[in-house]
Structure 1
Amino acid sequence: MLYRHGFIALAGLGLMTTTGMALAATASPDAQGDVARGAYLARAGDCVACHTAPGGQPFAGGLEIDSPFGTIVSTNITPDPDAGIGDYSRDDFAAALREGERADGANLYPAMPYTAYAKLSDDDIDALYAYFMQGVDPVNETPAESDLGFPFNQRWGIGLWNWLFADTDAFQPREGQGAQIARGAYLVQGLGHCGSCHTPRGLFFQEKAQDDSGEAFLAGETLDGWWAPNLRGGGEGDEGLQGWSQAAIVEYLATGRNDHDAVVGEMTSVVANSTSHLTDDDLQAIAAYLKSLPRERNDESATSDTTPAQTEQKLAAADVEGALGARLYLDNCNACHTVSGEGAPKVFPSLVGNELVNADDPTGLLRVILEGARLPSTPAKPEALAMPDFAWRLSDAEVAELATFVRGGWGNHADAVSADQVADVRKTLPDDRETSAPDFVP
């Protein structure tokens, strides 16, 4: 249940396996109900995403997670008694989730979001325990050890971090909070651990707020170059989720797309494996809660000197010498995102006011241009539409011109991008990534 340093981290959760279903079928009706409910809660709790290595068995661990302190390797949480958690009692399991403590008494690294899972109810802990013990296939594979430098490899020191920053209080709805918003708060603050990516971090990598009692909660953070946007959707204004309706948030979580935007980066797996499988009632609750969180008005936000109409005029008159960024947009982006920059609802995301486009750190946008992107296949929207990558056909200078044009067009207000910034991002692209380049260039 470790989180990854990317776009939101609600991500990917597991289905009951064949052996697990057979075990559940032999249990009492109440136990079967706990296993099924635990499987659903595991989806909302982000377990498979971090505890499954690429090509590995579900929940068998082995995923390498880069952190500022070294590489953390996720653990095996299948019910295997030797390699996994098969010998954990229910109380051992609860202590790992809520307190970050292994059965042998050692501290877990706080990449495991136990500060969020501390909010889980006893009933939900029971259901999760039933699922992991009865609904998951045991896998006898021991992942490699985490590789952290001194002093971060000293687990005893995490006790001090916990004393300073870990909140172990169970979830309590605010006074006067309706049932729907309270359910959304429970999911967002606890199982979903949305704050792991969307809440600003402090000097010691702690979340600056664990719940909505702090204004920093879900106020946005940059992780690994990806901007995890501000999720506070209430208050006056139309920035980010303030301009989205509750229905638009639900649609985004259920399908990875809506009239405003389409998912990229880490949030792709979040939608594919987690939020798209949640009930409509839970999605409505999450959306209602996010819309209830007031967003501090930013009266000093940058403004653009270029209006949408001026940008369209520039595109209409684009030439290579006078407006290279505009010409590159016409050649590479216009067919999908159009001269208006608004794309096509639920198919090609709008670039106008887009939070990824306007992020202070352009790394996320540059990665999308260089690597491309693919929408997740979900039950409601099974088609996995893709944006091609352009690393093979555009130079660093050209990508910089293109990104600068997009970040300053149609009223967008982000800073220009340099070729050096593009070069730095290009170096991080995986060597084995697929490319849209043709097999030969005539």
Structure 2
Amino acid sequence: MKKMLKGLGAALCVALPFIAQAPADAATASATGAADQTLVQRGAYLAQLGDCAACHTAPKGKPFAGGLPMNTPMGRIYVTNITPDARTGIGGYTEADFARALREGVAKDGHNLYPAMPYPSYAKVDDDDVKALYAFFMHGVAPVQQANRESDIKWPLNMRWPLMFWNMAFLEKGAYRDKPGKDVAWNRGAYLVQGLGHCGSCHTPRGVAFQESALDESGSAFLSGALLDGWFASNLTGEHNTGLGRWSDEDLRTFLKTGANRHASAFGAMTSVINNSTQAMSDQDVAAVSTYLKSLPPVGGTGAAAYTYDPQATKVSLDRPANDAGARVYTAYCMHCHGVDGHGFAPMLAPLAGNPNVLAKDASSLINVTLNGTGDLVIDGVPSPFPMPGFAAVLDDQQIADVLSFVRAGWNNGTPAVGAAEVAKLRQSTQAGR
């Protein structure tokens, strides 16, 4: 679901009047205005499902005016202005222009968009939803005159024409079609996850050409977890330890609406997804997404036996005085939130025992969140009272490696130790420019 971005608090700007030629009589005018306004409002909801604000609104910037930096394997790009400003935004786009950019990655002037824009997912959005989105961006968003910034990618890698061949190889055109034998909820969930939600953009591994290894459940790698921009986006299949295998339908729905449940809490880019997108989903759509995700068979993981909680060895190592370096750091900095038993105080404070992010083979997310903390979850306008603080200025690389190795071994988690060199590498890449 997203490029790895910092949490944003941008609000959607909705409900500006639709501008059209005046109908012949007042009754028709009223009916037409109401219908158009309904379309704009529906488009606003769809823009939330697509989490458009997260990428197209820079911190402290105006909604959808672009400018947000985004790291790619080739260099940094800057997200574009998609307000209806005629000079610097998309005010000159027809609906056909808008649809082509959204679903094929080609701008009005013919240049190809970088696939950091998740148009391979948006290709599945149907015509009715494209129409509503166009109505919202043209008539429900305030125009902002803000010029787009050129990328930092150096020549010749900044040339766009090779992307035509990338599209020929990896872009699957055509809106989502309901799968025979699946019910309405499953198909709606599949449409949202694969299309507007573009969950695979973060949670599906990438190939050598930075293409998603699978675009739907027919590919074995689909939503099996992926490393992107210093975070490991979690496995969303039914895998028991690192995926959603132990999550009930209620657990998943709670996470999508609040960003936390008894298993884990959102961090990194997922904070932005919760803040700007999934918490705004209707109960029906949340249920549909959960139905689809919970249907996915287990893929990936570490191959370890199914996790079972065992606190005894960890309790012994935490007995005062703590008897190893990681336990000492945990006792001083972590235990008051996450507990001696590793259960934390879910959902307010995340558990560490059996947490899918702790059980993942790749420790990048744990290192990143320990170094840098995470942005506030803001649910119904209320920030979370206990965001994870960053410890980059407090703990050195070896201390962070020690405490994370302790956590990954503790409470029967049984995952590999973390090295100081891994911490140093992520410290350098994530702290640059701060």
Relative to the length of structure 2, the TM-score reads: 0.91
* Aligned position for 1:362: 363
Q: Aligned partners of 2:241 and 2:394: how far apart in 1?
A: 36
Aligned residue among 244, 248, 251 for 2:247: 244
Q: Secondary structure at the match of 1:111?
A: coil
The Cα of 1:173 is off from its aligned counterpart by 1.7
Deviating more after overlay: 350-359 vs 159-168: 350-359
Q: Aligned partners of 1:273 and 1:296: how far apart in 2?
A: 28
Q: Aligned partners of 1:373 and 1:87: how far apart in 2?
A: 38
The one-letter code sitting in structure 1 at the alignment partner of 2:313 is Q
Q: Aligned partners of 1:47 and 1:297: how far apart in 2?
A: 29
Q: Does the 8 Å contact 1:351/1:406 carry over to 2? A: yes
The one-letter code sitting in structure 1 at the alignment partner of 2:413 is N
* Aligned position for 1:439: none
Q: Secondary structure at the match of 2:244?
A: helix
Q: Secondary structure at the match of 2:120?
A: helix
Q: Does the 8 Å contact 2:230/2:430 carry over to 1? A: no
The one-letter code sitting in structure 2 at the alignment partner of 1:314 is S
- Can you list the C-alpha shifts for 1:181-225, whole angstroms capped at 9, x where unaligned? 111111000000000000011010000111111111111101122
What value does the CA root-mean-square deviation take over the aligned residues? 2.6
Deviating more after overlay: 368-377 vs 56-65: 368-377
Q: Secondary structure at the match of 2:70?
A: strand
Does structure 1 residue 325 correspond to structure 2 residue 330?
no
Deviating more after overlay: 330-339 vs 310-319: 310-319
Quick one: percent identity of the two aligned structures? 46
- Can you list the C-alpha shifts for 1:12-60, whole angstroms capped at 9, x where unaligned? 7752257x35869996211111100000000011211111222221111
Q: Secondary structure at the match of 1:373?
A: coil
- Can you list the C-alpha shifts for 1:101-140, whole angstroms capped at 9, x where unaligned? 1111221111111111111111101100100110011111
The one-letter code sitting in structure 1 at the alignment partner of 2:275 is A
Q: Secondary structure at the match of 2:227?
A: strand
**Cα–Cα, structure 1 residues 109 and 299, in superposed 2: closer, same or farther, change >3 Å?**
closer
Q: Aligned partners of 1:431 and 1:150: how far apart in 2?
A: 23
* Aligned position for 2:148: 143
Q: Aligned partners of 1:431 and 1:5: how far apart in 2?
A: 15
Unpaired segments ≥5 residues, structure 2: 21-28
Q: Aligned partners of 2:361 and 2:284: how far apart in 1?
A: 35
**Cα–Cα, structure 1 residues 54 and 383, in superposed 2: closer, same or farther, change >3 Å?**
closer
* Aligned position for 2:317: 314
Q: Aligned partners of 2:213 and 2:433: how far apart in 1?
A: 37
Q: Aligned partners of 2:72 and 2:433: how far apart in 1?
A: 22
Deviating more after overlay: 108-117 vs 390-399: 390-399
Does structure 1 residue 16 correspond to structure 2 residue 13?
yes
Does structure 1 residue 122 correspond to structure 2 residue 124?
no
Q: Aligned partners of 1:367 and 1:238: how far apart in 2?
A: 21
Q: Aligned partners of 2:180 and 2:380: how far apart in 1?
A: 36
**Cα–Cα, structure 1 residues 191 and 304, in superposed 2: closer, same or farther, change >3 Å?**
closer
Aligned residue among 96, 108, 122 for 1:91: 96
Aligned residue among 242, 257, 260 for 1:257: 260
Q: Aligned partners of 2:118 and 2:271: how far apart in 1?
A: 20
**Cα–Cα, structure 1 residues 406 and 298, in superposed 2: closer, same or farther, change >3 Å?**
closer
Aligned residue among 149, 163, 167 for 2:168: 163
1:256-275 counterparts in 2 under 5 A? 256-275=259-278
* Aligned position for 2:116: 111
The one-letter code sitting in structure 2 at the alignment partner of 1:291 is K
* Aligned position for 2:404: 403
The Cα of 1:395 is off from its aligned counterpart by 2.2
Q: Secondary structure at the match of 2:232?
A: strand
Relative to the length of structure 1, the TM-score reads: 0.89
The Cα of 1:238 is off from its aligned counterpart by 5.3
